[in-house]
Every structure is written in C-alpha cells, then in structure tokens.
Amino acid sequence: MVVLGIETSCDETSVAVVVSPGPEVLSNEVYSQIAAHQPFGGVVPELAARRHVDVLPGLIGKAIHDADVGWEDLDALAVTAGPGLASSLLVGVSAAKALALRLKVPLYPVNHLEGHVCSVFLGANAPRAEEACPMLVLLVTGGHTCLIAVDCIGGYRMLGQTLDDAAGEALDKGASMLGLPYPGGPSIEKAAQGGDPSLFAFPRGRVQGSSLRHLAGMEPELCFSYSGVKTSLLYRLRDLGATPAPGQLADLAAGYQEAVFDALLLRVEAAMDRAAYASFACVGGVARNQCLRGKLLALSESRDVPLLLAQPEYCTDNAAMIAATHALRSPTLRQDTGFACDVRPVWPLGAG
C-alpha cells in the first residue's frame, strides 16, 4: 500500500509518501515556517494558514517526485484532521479532499497525537508495534504534554496530562523571558551548554488532586503543571535586575530545562510503578532535546525497560508519521471519510 500523508496542523507544512508493510518512508518533505513567525515570538495562526496555502501544492509534487512514484500508484491519502489550529488544518484537509476526488482514492483523517505516537515505528531500526506494546508513551510537544498507555495501534489510554502549559510551551515562554529566539526548546538547549543546572533551582510542578476536577479518572501524580516554573523564572529574572550575564544565562537555561525535564521523568517513573510495560517511548518536538534523551536513557537502564526514541526528524511535526499511522492501522480501524472529512481542532486521543 502506498500512502500520501499531509500535515498542516501548526507551523510546519509537510507531505510524505510511505509504503507498507514497513512502514517505509519514500519521501518526507518538511517546510518549516519558523523564520516567518520568529519576529512575533510565537506562531501567528493566520500567517501559518496563508503559508500552508502557498507552499503545500509544491510540496505535494516534490513528495511524489522524490518518492519516485506516480499519481496512479497512490492507494490512500492520510491527512491530519486535528488537534491543531483550525485555519491551518483546513488547508491540509481541503487539499486532501481535492486530491482524493481527482485521484479517486480513499481519504483517511489522522489524529496528530496518534501520529506522534506512531513516529517511533519509523526508521531503519524501528521495532514492530506488536513487540513494543504495551508501551508507555511520554508525548511532549508545543501544544500537548501527556502520558499514554498504548496497548496496541488504536488502543490508547490517557493516564495523565498537563493542567496548563505543555512542556514545549514552557520552554518557548521561558526562552522568551530569557531573551532567546523562538522556538524556545532548541534555543534553551543551546544556551544551557556549559551551564550548571544546580545553581538556580526551579520547582518541579506538583499537581493537587483538587485541581483535577475536569480530568476525570486521572491521578495527580501522573499529571503535569508548568505554571509554577514559569513564574519562578520570572521572579528570578526580576531579582537579578539587569539582563543576565552570558555565564548566568547558561546556568539559568540549564536549571530551567532541568526542572521542566525532571517533572516529566517523575511522572514516567510514577506510571512505571503502577504497571509493567514492554517498552517506553518519548515522542514530539521536545524529544529532540539531548539532555532529555540522556535522562530517559538513564531511566531505561535503571528500570530495565527498553527506551524507544523517534529519529530527530520524526520528533518535530512531519507527514511521514501521519501516513505511517494509517499504514499501521488494522483494516477495521480504517475509516474512509472521503469528502465528509472535517477538521477537529479539539480531538482527544482515543475519542474515535
């Protein structure tokens, strides 16, 4: 089966061609809009949607060309239908509908979060889903931070999630306070090099049971909160007075990212205490971070649970993971929505 995937949920425009079994990636074109949004310190939704309109047609042609397939070889289209920015999602879904109509191939909506989960099954040495499950997944992006128990492809249980900011968002906002460019995750990672994380202590964000009223069935020990760590950085900077000196900047960045990551690790450990998993994985843009990857590796060794990390190019948003998600599904989970495909800006994982 040859699947063309389209991803436009935020500020990356991406098109990929993936074949199954495998899934094997034949092409994965990613146009990053970072430069367009950088002057604004974050993603501007209308600007993102307009850029998607400009670059998507060219990327579709390039993905087909680079995969060395013909239009007639495509068996299915998979498109991110949500969650994400409504206006951006609309561009990808509209393009997918037009292609499905023209090529007379089925169209399958894919949940962006499920795409991130499936990103660990891409690449040369990736395991098969049957071997990896039951799998504990830490999903850390700019919009989401959650812990998911993956029983099989399509079988997801949300164990915990953030009550406020996502980990990536906490890094993006922290970087902005430190005067570092967007996106904050890579900026903080770079600034933290050579810094001493123990010189500035930041809180690890505890969650009170009473604050979980809207998250029925979730345990406080498996949920996240990043509002405290941001406030703590704000007060630190205020107390330091002037702009931090270069040496201080490295220590602040190292201490801040350490607190963000330790909060993640604490919840992963708590989830491991509650159930046995064949493997655990970390997916999403923040999983590119080398400091976080090192901490996860140490945990994998101490707990003797194999760690699965997506290749860096499949951590940040890409269409290969969207096409692969469809390719990995069993036939009963494949629902061709055709022209009725609609965007779902809010779409909890496992909600059908």
The residues of the shown chain that bind ligand KG4, judged by CB under 6 A, are 10, 141-143, 168, 171-172, 183-186, 189, 284-286, 288-289, 316-317
Q: Does position 141 bind Zn ion by CB under 5 A?
A: yes
* Distances from the Cα of 62 to the Cα of 58, 73, 196, 257, 317, angstroms: 6, 15, 45, 37, 18
Q: How far is the CB of 283 from ligand KG4 (least distance, A)?
A: 8
| Residue 331 C-alpha from the chain's centroid | 25
Nearer to ligand KG4, 244 or 285 (CB): 285
Applying CB under 5 A, the span of 179-187, 272-280, 312-320, 323-331 interacting with Zn ion comes to 312-320
Place of tokens 């140490």: 298
* Tokens encoding 326: 């469809």
Between CA 98 and CA 102 the distance in angstroms is 6
Amino acid letter for position 69: V
Nearer to Zn ion, 306 or 345 (CB): 345
Applying CB under 5 A, the span of 133-141, 197-205, 243-251, 289-297 interacting with Zn ion comes to 133-141
Q: Are 168 and 176 a contacting pair, CB within 8 Å?
A: no
Between CA 337 and CA 314 the distance in angstroms is 26
Residue nearest to ligand KG4 (CB): 185
Helices (H), the chain: 34-37, 45-67, 86-103, 112-118, 129-132, 167-177, 184-191, 227-240, 246-274, 290-303, 312-315, 320-328
Q: Does position 29 bind Zn ion by CB under 5 A?
A: no
Residue 142 binds which entry of Zn ion, ligand KG4, none, with Cβ cut-offs from 5 to 8 Å by kind? Answer: ligand KG4
Residue 172 binds which entry of Zn ion, ligand KG4, none, with Cβ cut-offs from 5 to 8 Å by kind? Answer: ligand KG4
Total residues binding Zn ion (CB under 5 A): 2
Nearer to ligand KG4, 184 or 244 (CB): 184
The CA-to-CA distance between both ends of the chain, in Å, stands at: 24
Residue 255 binds which entry of Zn ion, ligand KG4, none, with Cβ cut-offs from 5 to 8 Å by kind? Answer: none
Among the listed residues 222, 71, 73, the one whose alpha carbon sits nearest the alpha carbon of residue 145: 222
Q: How far is the CB of 95 from ligand KG4 (least distance, A)?
A: 19
Nearer to ligand KG4, 142 or 255 (CB): 142
Residue 5 binds which entry of Zn ion, ligand KG4, none, with Cβ cut-offs from 5 to 8 Å by kind? Answer: none
Of residues 12, 29, 251, 317, which one binds Zn ion by CB under 5 A? Answer: 317
Strand 24-32 and strand 12-19: the pairing is antiparallel
Nearer to Zn ion, 29 or 258 (CB): 29
Residue 186 binds which entry of Zn ion, ligand KG4, none, with Cβ cut-offs from 5 to 8 Å by kind? Answer: ligand KG4
Task: Extract long-range pairs of 170-177: CB within 8 Å, 24+ residues apart.
Answer: 170/226, 170/229, 170/230, 170/260, 171/257, 171/260, 171/286, 172/42, 172/142, 173/230, 174/229, 174/230, 174/233, 174/256, 174/257, 174/260, 176/41, 176/42, 177/230, 177/233, 177/234, 177/237
Nearer to ligand KG4, 183 or 244 (CB): 183
Nearer to ligand KG4, 105 or 286 (CB): 286
Nearer to Zn ion, 232 or 318 (CB): 318
Q: How far is the CB of 15 from ligand KG4 (least distance, A)?
A: 16
Residues that bind Zn ion (CB under 5 A): 141, 317
